[in-house]
Amino acid sequence: MMSNAPSGPARAGHIAPDDERIARAALSRLMEPQDTAGLALVRLTGAVDALRIATGQLAAGPSLEQEMTALLLDGGSGSWPGLPASLKRWMPRVPDLAPERDLATLQRLGGRIIIPGDALWPVQLADLGLQEPLCLWWRGHELEFPPLRRTVALVGSRDSTGYGGAVAGEFAYGLGQRGYTVVSGGAYGIDAHAHRGALAGGSSDVPTIAVMAGGVDRYYPSGNEELLRAVANQGAVIAEVPPGSAPTRYRFLQRNRLIAAFAAVTVVVEARWRSGALNTAHHAEAIGRMVAAVPGSIHSANSAGCHRLLREGGAVCVTDVGEIAELAGGSGEELVGEKEASGSEHDGLTLEDLVLLDALPLRTITSVEKLGVVAGLGPEAVRAGLGRLGLLGLAVSERGGWKRARKNA
């Protein structure tokens, strides 16, 4: 499956060299997600040398530490305790390293590791800057990751209400039908409804992707095992942590940045005042992705987080699939157009004609003079207005007088 390929910019079918692949597999076990010191090290020395430094096989000179400091400050980190502190952090895990075993595990499960430089690497992850993951452990067919503008994240509470579940399902189904890929986190509640809806409605090669906080060798939570198996069969189940990693709270929070980075829009379907889904929304905002929130009853605690996002100004209010598609930059504008077109027959009337229409009796006929008194218009204005209303089918002339036209007559 793995072969040495020429270095250089990624192109179709290109895969990165084996030693780089194995080094990143090992580093992803050594370093927690978003270990910025580790990521800076990899960026400066490459994965192979970074692994040798991290495991103590290669000594780092003082200039490397200076470069790391500069890169970390550039990337927005404050002061950092220095490379020795990082080495001390990584050291306890060195004895557990077995990247070939991890790769073999994934291969046995029909999966693989994807690393930057692979043609299949999602280019949108570059927007994470220094926080771009080291690799992605990928369970499912070998599929191209959908482009940003065709990917929508649907996220929300685990303890969703009937309303939230229905909305997640109908949005995912509709997005699937339009060929969008729905990204979510594989959890109970909103996530599960989103994956299920996308599988049902999906018309693209990758209807849905589950981004896990723990290793993809195990389908977690177990109650979603069957669902996640279906997601892997039709789409993909992915993680930045290696097989066997537990889904800790810290990893959930870091995982959220991946969901946000994959998608053009992160839609928060239901969330409490404090919720992991808001964390995903903040990640999305931080890298300039659109955030949308679904409104709900003000009496539902499960919508309080959505309303908070709307109120604090970061999120766009979305109520149907067309609006989401519009935000993603794909199709969908037509739906909004339809809604606007269903207006009243009185749209576009001038205020003067509206006054005149109000003044016209429904049953009896009236004269131009009387209309002028009732409407507060001069006789010429009345006559001109009656002409316009007549053309619109809103007024009719009978026996020298005028009355309102009956609807549907």
Q: Which stretches of the chain bind a copy of itself, using CB under 8 A?
A: 30-32, 34-35, 85, 87-93, 96, 163, 167, 248-250, 253, 273-274, 294-299, 303-304, 306-307, 310-311, 316-320, 323, 339, 342-344, 346, 351, 354-355, 357-359, 369, 372-373, 375-381
Closest CB to a copy of itself among residues 111, 372? 372
Tell the smallest beta-carbon distance from residue 90 to a copy of itself (Å).
Answer: 7
Closest CB to a copy of itself among residues 37, 182? 37
Q: Which residues have CB under 8 Å from 169's CB, separation 6+?
A: 193, 194, 196, 197
- Please name the amino acid found at residue 49: D
Helices and strands, counts by H and E, the chain? 17, 11
Closest CB to a copy of itself among residues 163, 188? 163
Phi and psi at residue 63, to the nearest 5°: -70, -35
CA distance 48 to 378: 88
Closest CB to a copy of itself among residues 109, 166? 166
Q: Name residue 396's beta-bridge partners.
A: 403
Tell the smallest beta-carbon distance from residue 315 to a copy of itself (Å).
Answer: 9
CA distance 260 to 304: 21
Residue with tokens 């929070």: 253
Tell the smallest beta-carbon distance from residue 54 to a copy of itself (Å).
Answer: 11
Alpha carbon 43 to its chain centroid, in Å, reads 27
DSSP 295: -
Tell the smallest beta-carbon distance from residue 251 to a copy of itself (Å).
Answer: 8
Tell the smallest beta-carbon distance from residue 82 to a copy of itself (Å).
Answer: 12
Closest CB to a copy of itself among residues 121, 220? 220
Closest CB to a copy of itself among residues 59, 341? 341
Residue with tokens 């490459």: 46
Tell the smallest beta-carbon distance from residue 291 to a copy of itself (Å).
Answer: 13
Tell the smallest beta-carbon distance from residue 319 to a copy of itself (Å).
Answer: 4
Closest CB to a copy of itself among residues 102, 118? 102
Taking alpha carbons only, the member of 168, 153, 160, 158 closest to residue 300 is 160
CA-based R_g, the chain, Å: 30
For 338, other C-beta atoms within 10 Å of its C-beta total: 10
Tell the smallest beta-carbon distance from residue 32 to a copy of itself (Å).
Answer: 4
Tell the smallest beta-carbon distance from residue 352 to a copy of itself (Å).
Answer: 9
Please answer whether residues 273 and 308 qualify as being in contact, where contact means their C-beta atoms are separated by less than 8 angstroms. Answer: yes
Listing DSSP states for 39-76 in one string gives: HHHHHHH-HHHHHHHHTTSSPPPHHHHHHHHHHHHHTT
Q: Which residues have CB under 8 Å from 28's CB, separation 6+?
A: 133, 134, 135, 137, 240, 241, 242
CA distance 374 to 380: 14
CA distance 246 to 239: 11
Tell the smallest beta-carbon distance from residue 254 to a copy of itself (Å).
Answer: 8
Closest CB to a copy of itself among residues 29, 112? 29
Closest CB to a copy of itself among residues 228, 382? 382
- Please name the amino acid found at residue 103: L
Q: DSSP H helical segments within 75-118, as ranges?
A: 83-90, 99-108
Closest CB to a copy of itself among residues 232, 284? 284
Tell the smallest beta-carbon distance from residue 202 to a copy of itself (Å).
Answer: 22
Please answer whether residues 317 and 291 qualify as being in contact, where contact means their C-beta atoms are separated by less than 8 angstroms. Answer: no
Closest CB to a copy of itself among residues 7, 273? 273
Residue with tokens 């199709």: 331
